[in-house]
Amino acid sequence: MVITLSRHATKSRRGVRPTTLVVWCYVALITAGTVLLMLPISAANSHPTGQCAPSPGDMCLRTALSDALFTATSATSLTGLITVDTATHWSTFGKVVIMLLIQLGGLGFMTLASLFGLFVAGRLGLNRRAGARVEGRGMDMGEISWVVRAAVSFTLLVEFVVAVALTLRFHFGYEYSWGRAVWEGLFHAISGFNNAGFALYTDNVMGFFSDTWVLLPLAFALIVGGLGFPVLLEAWRHLKTWLSVRTRGQLPKRWSLTTRFTIKGTILLIALGTLMVAFGEWSNAMSGFTTGEKILNSFFAGVSPRTAGFNALDYADFHPSTLLGTDFLMFIGGGTGGTAGGVKITTSAVILAAVLAEIRGDTSVSVARRRLNPKVLRQALVVLAFGIGQVFLAVIAVSFLAPQFSTDQILFEVVSAFATVGLSTGITADLPVAAQAIFIVLMFAGRVGPIALATALAARPRQRIYEYPEERPFIG
């Protein structure tokens, strides 16, 4: 047995772990949202649900606990799956509560993810932190407050721009009153940037399938929110360096692997999703559309599965092969530290790089003249394995509880819940309460699970001080 000493081996850590703190923060937010949504003022007077009043003629105004909890979890986790119709079930107060849950959930996740990045960087040691700063990846711990302010400011800026574009379109294009246009523009801008997918229409945004001036602003919000704040921050720093008079003409800093993976992966997945929908639904779900409308909806349907949840097409009409391809896009998700869900592009890219390195017979995994730490590969494998395991077990459980639905439908809903996407074939509201409870767990785990797991793995305080003899089992 080989002994290897580590200076971290016996160093103890005390206090609340950040991963535990973020879980309880989200639990508290979901609990508060559930209570507010169960109030009589949150339900629309014209839509009786929940517990009925003793008198037969009285209106039922209280939302059932299961529906309120599901909606609060879906909004906070930025998913978008629903058990009651957002447009008709909730009052204006209830819709404002949902919008605030989306906003707080998105801001909280972006800032916490960025702060967790600082936390992990602070545990890597001075040498590695210095190397990270050279590549533009690291930030001093003193920049925490600046990171939070920057994340909040950028979020509000993008939401404002998209809200203005939608407001103008709703007012001048559909003759909404200014009050209604501002309200719907703001709601959908917040829902879009935070990749929540909640809409104020029963058919989501299917009524705007031919409107470029509605779908493209929403697509812009979805893409920017899904890139992740760390990537956006690095892009901003590069832009400032390029525009600065004092640094003009100098070679730009090297882009980090996180940014390279995220930007290239986003472009590739959007392109693949667009082609997949165009090929599979050109004469199916989009039959009767003009060529321009088919191209527009193929693009929007290629963007939305990356944890956005808006649908301008009816996914219940999709071909099974298109649904399966959408499952793949949803499971991967978007960028780390953003409002997107899934196992993240960086995780998938690291796994792919390891596979290609093994096929080539390389002794180490290298990308863009940078060698990946073996610990990163193991962490990516753990995140991927946990994601596959959750989806697999959930599909089995929901299939047992709701055998009337096909496996294609159940798999689609399960992946949508885990990846916090919100796209649906329309069966979520018809599932039994037990199956909906599984979705609640999936949505919560899909939002806080990957970053909490990755952070916990990267920041483990203790390491084993010995190694066992090596042995190679047969593979394949």
Q: Which pLDDT tens digit goes with each residue over 346-384?
A: 999 999 999 999 899 888 888 888 888 888 888 889 889
Residues 6+ apart with CB under 8 A from 296: 209, 210, 212, 215
* 440, pLDDT greater than 60: yes
How far is CA 151 from each of CA 145, 155, 197, 320, 339, rounded to the nearest angstrom?
Answer: 10, 6, 21, 39, 12
Residue pLDDT, tens place only, 153-178: 888 999 999 999 999 999 999 999 99
Which of the two residues, 435 and 226, has the higher pLDDT score? 435
CA dist 70 and 391 (Å) reads 18
Average pLDDT over residues 432-446: 93
Q: Which residue has the higher pLDDT, 104 or 113?
A: 104
Tell me how crowded residue 381 is: count the other CB atoms within 10 A of its CB.
14
CA distance 83 to 436: 8
Q: What per-residue confidence (pLDDT) applies to 249?
A: 54
Q: How many helices (H) and strands (E) does the chain have?
A: 17, 4
Residue 370 parent element (H or E): strand 370-371
User: Residue 73's closest CA among 130, 28, 43?
Assistant: 28
pLDDT classification of 53: cutoffs 50, 70, 90 = very low
Question: Which tokens belong to 176?
Answer: 């909404």
pLDDT band at 5 (very low <50, low <70, confident <90, very high): very low
DSSP class per residue in 121-158? HHTS-HHHHHHHHHTT----GGGHHHHHHHHHHHHHHH
Cα separation, 454 vs 278, in Å, equals: 36
Cα distances (Å, whole numbers) of residue 224 to 183, 330, 388: 22, 17, 27
> At residue 262, does pLDDT exceed 60?
yes
- Percentage of residues of the chain with pLDDT beyond 70: 79
Residue 199 has a pLDDT of 95
Whether the predicted pLDDT of 6 surpasses 60: no
DSSP symbols for 1-39: -EE---TTSS----S--HHHHHHHHHHHHHHHHHHHHHS
Q: What's the residue count for the chain?
A: 476
**Are 122 and 141 within 8 A, CB to CB?**
yes
CA dihedral 335, 158, 326, 289 (to 10 degrees): -150
Query: Among 18-22, 55-59, 155-159, 215-219, whose mean pLDDT is lowest?
Result: 55-59
Place of tokens 């779900």: 285
